[in-house]
Amino acid sequence: MDHRDKVFLAVAENLSFSKAAEELFISQPAVTKHIKELESKLNSTLFERKGNRIYLTKAGKVNYEFLKKIKQQYEELEFELGRLNNTFKGTLHIGASSTISQYVIPEVIAAFYKRYPNIDLHLYSGNSVDMQKKLLADEVDIALVENNSCMTELKYLDFLDDELVVVTGGNSVYSKRKQITLNDLGEIPLVLREKGSGTLEVIQQVLKSNNIQIDDLKIVTHLGSTETIKNFLINFDGIAIISEKSINKELQLKSIVKIKVKNFQLPRKLRIVLRQGNIGSTTKTFINFLNNYNF
């Protein structure tokens, strides 16, 4: 791709000349110069300024959509040439829900990088809903989520089993209780993940199947990450429901204790999410690697 095209893409995706300059490690005047040259070449204005912000013009939006496709084709070309030489070049943008990004995928990415060092990896983290939105907006190539719901524009593949468990802090008044009932679950102070979280969605669905509404529980607060919940439990006389994969270290240290709920389980599948249509070679390589990884 022409360097001016790369500069345009950086400005279009950041909607900022200064952020594009930082991303490309060039000066802001250089960014302005490249954009003006490209506008002159295309005989079109690509950006317009409103107040302190810039926006793509209609011509800018058309240029952006075509250049995104061209960029992807270049990446495919690099990858296929790399495969011929066994070097595998390319770029992969991965969006992962917070539990997956913190506790599941880092070791996979490290192993993938060791096998394919010439593939440029980028990891983005957020809740499951956010990651699916990023995928639809073409901001990531693949999303890894922990919720059960589906969007018709996307396709889903299971890649790993997980289970949500009821836990309490090691110093909590509930830490000596090995088992509780579903009725107890509705009476004990509870902390949960935020709206949009795949964890919360699965909890709601399983509770509903047991004729329990989540609003009937004694919820103290909703927190934005599993790490925050684990820290909250240190000084909290109550319980939480989080991924079993997130508490291996805490269980060993006995700073967090699992509590069994009689006749109640919260299994779930961690899933790969893709846009409908063709899948890029780099994305296929990562999916194959992920599906064959020994967790």
Residues 168 and 253 in one domain: yes
* Choice among 61-65, 79-83, 234-238 with the minimum mean pLDDT: 79-83
DSSP run (H or E) holding 228: helix 226-233
Amino acid identity of 127? Answer: N
Domain boundary among 85, 118, 139: 85
pLDDT tens readout for residues 257-294: 999 999 999 999 999 999 988 888 899 899 989 988 98
Number of domains into which the chain is organized: 2
Residues 173 and 79 in one domain: no
pLDDT tens readout for residues 26-49: 999 999 999 999 999 999 999 999
- The reply to whether 293 falls in a domain is no
Domain boundary among 51, 85, 119: 85
| Pairwise CA distance, residues 234 & 145, whole Å | 27
* CATH number for the domain that contains residue 208: 3.40.190.290
- The reply to whether 103 falls in a domain is no
pLDDT bracket for residue 5 (50, 70, 90): very high
Instruction: Note down the domain range covering 248.
Output: 161-267
**What SS3 class is residue 218?**
coil
∠ CA(50), CA(54), CA(58), 5° rounding?
95
pLDDT given for residue 66 in this prediction: 93
Domain boundary among 85, 104, 136: 85
Q: How far is CA 50 from CA 47, 53, 57, 167, in A?
A: 10, 5, 11, 51
- The reply to whether 231 falls in a domain is yes
Does pLDDT of 144 surpass 80? yes
pLDDT tens readout for residues 228-257: 999 999 999 999 999 999 999 999 999 999
- Residue whose C-alpha is closest to residue 135's, from 100, 175, 93: 93
* CATH number for the domain that contains residue 75: 1.10.10.10
- The reply to whether 292 falls in a domain is no
pLDDT given for residue 113 in this prediction: 93
Distance from the first to the final alpha carbon of the chain: 39
- The reply to whether 280 falls in a domain is no
- The reply to whether 15 falls in a domain is yes
Residues 81 and 165 in one domain: no
